[in-house]
A and B are shown apart, each in its own frame.
Chain A
Amino acid sequence: MDSYNAPESTPSASSRPEDYFIGATPLQKRLESVRKHSSFIPTPPRRKIPQCSQLQEDVDPQKVAFLLHKQWTLYSLTPLYKFSYSNLKEYSRLLNAFIVAEKQKGLAVEVGEDFNIKVIFSTLLGMKGAQRDPEAFLVQILSKSQLPSENRQGKVLWTGWFCCIFGDSLLETVSEDFTCLPLFLANGAESNTAIIGTWFQKTFDCYFSPLAINAFNLSWMAAMWTACKMDHYVATTEFLWSVPCSPQSLDISFAIHPEDAKALWDSVHKTPGEVTQEEVDLFMDCLYSHFHRHFKIHLSATRLVRVSTSVASAHTDGKIKILCHKYLIGVLAYLTELAIFQIE
């Protein structure tokens, strides 16, 4: 690891930080970006392009259909060290052995569980935003079928997949040995997630942390997903707020017809192709004032906990369910951004 190079230019009144970093190492670039984030000067309102991009053409919707309509728990993952896509069979074998060993140690909870499991690593082609993004891969735990017939595929016990969609800000700052797949989604028993997490952490020197989504980001998601053009709506648009009060917190749920929500968004939306902070605030304020007019409750004083639209639904604890394959990449892009933000 090369040492920190002294900056070339002498510190003068008008020196800008960018001048120091021509030909900087990734670490220096990283430090610079961290410094920029914590600058005192407020940055201009965040502008985001709504994802409405189509799924990559080479992905077969049938192949990714199993990703939809399932509840995934989100984690953010630091870059994996010396991970190689050609060793997937090897990894399957090692992870299989590890899981069996862990379960026999008695660390897993369920007693009398079937230990005949099979672990499969596979790549998910096309689950990426830009060409630079590393390939997504999938880990599945299947129960080995008791019947000797070859065709019978075991039942899937646990699924987890790693992906990176438009992860440029992270990709620029890491060196060659690392594979950046900051978003991890898991479905299945929590004990399995823990065991697999431990194995990855030991093998690739990475770190998992649960990705919570705060109310601010949930309202962005609500606005972006309402903005998506859909041919037909499969679910009502629903919000859930948690009111902090003692002894037990109160939950307020507000359901809107999706076409009404879209009409509201269209009246608020000004800049084509982009979603701005003001539009999101205005959209949510319209809902709040409508609710206040009828019920005299200030929803803005409560905490948004769950947002559910026809595109996807998200819960503040880091749970997500994607319903529409057309906007799958867009949803994942935003989640990747949140994951990268959490890592940094």
Chain B
Amino acid sequence: MSVLRPLDKLPGLNTATILLVGTEDALLQQLADSMLKEDCASELKVHLAKSLPLPSSVNRPRIDLIVFVVNLHSKYSLQNTEESLRHVDASFFLGKVCFLATGAGRESHCSIHRHTVVKLAHTYQSPLLYCDLEVEGFRATMAQRLVRVLQICAGHVPGVSALNLLSLLKSSEGPSLEDL
């Protein structure tokens, strides 16, 4: 199975699974640890991947949320993300995909312009979050935020769906004439 689809498996009972995709292993590992430390009513499963497609030999639960981690210091991580996006089914982008840009704090190390990532998130109609994953405090806050989003995407929060959340997260400024 080379393309990830959101609804091709049955959900596990009270389980929410998140997939973190990114080239920076250490950062992903730290973010995963922070997320697992969070208090959460549902059972959390965090999967890490360097890139998509995922190997089909492994038996894995249904993925509720994909977070693509882009490191602004490295063009390679952006290229990797763009490659991986091809292996995600279009219906995933209805609120179940999110982009996370890290490294914006150290402007002098940035190889990618902020607008490139903003445009990428805009093209895929998905929210873009900024977080310096190297800083403990920011990482903990982001982990909290991702856990809440994950719970919504897994359907564990009554009354709010992933698509609801997506339209709430979209900026209140509508697209202007200059856009695309």
Contact = CB atoms under 8 A, between A and B. Distances in A.
A216 B108 CA distance: 9
B111 A216 contact: yes
Interface residues of B, number: 24
Interface stretch (A41-49, A52-60, A140-148): A41-49
A213 B110 CA distance: 9
Contact of B79 (A213, A300, A316): A300
Contacts of B178: 41, 43-44
A64 interface: no
Contacts of B79: 300
A173 B171 CA distance: 29
Contacts, number: 57
Contact of B108 (A39, A302, A316): A316
B136 interface: no
A301 interface: yes
Interface residues of B: mostly helix, strand, loop or mixed?
Answer: loop
A221 interface: no
Q: Size class of A's contact patch?
A: 20 to 34
A214 B74 contact: no
B118 A303 contact: no
B111 A214 contact: yes
Interface of A: 39-44, 212-216, 219, 277, 284, 288, 298, 300-304, 316
30 contacts: A39-B173, A39-B176, A40-B171, A41-B122, A41-B173, A41-B175, A41-B176, A41-B178, A41-B179, A42-B118, A42-B122, A42-B179, A43-B178, A44-B178, A212-B107, A213-B108, A214-B107, A214-B108, A214-B109, A214-B110, A215-B111, A216-B113, A284-B75, A298-B76, A300-B79, A301-B74, A301-B75, A301-B76, A301-B77, A303-B111
Q: Which 9 A-B pairs have the closest CB atoms?
A: A301-B76, A300-B76, A300-B75, A215-B111, A212-B108, A42-B119, A40-B171, A42-B118, A301-B74
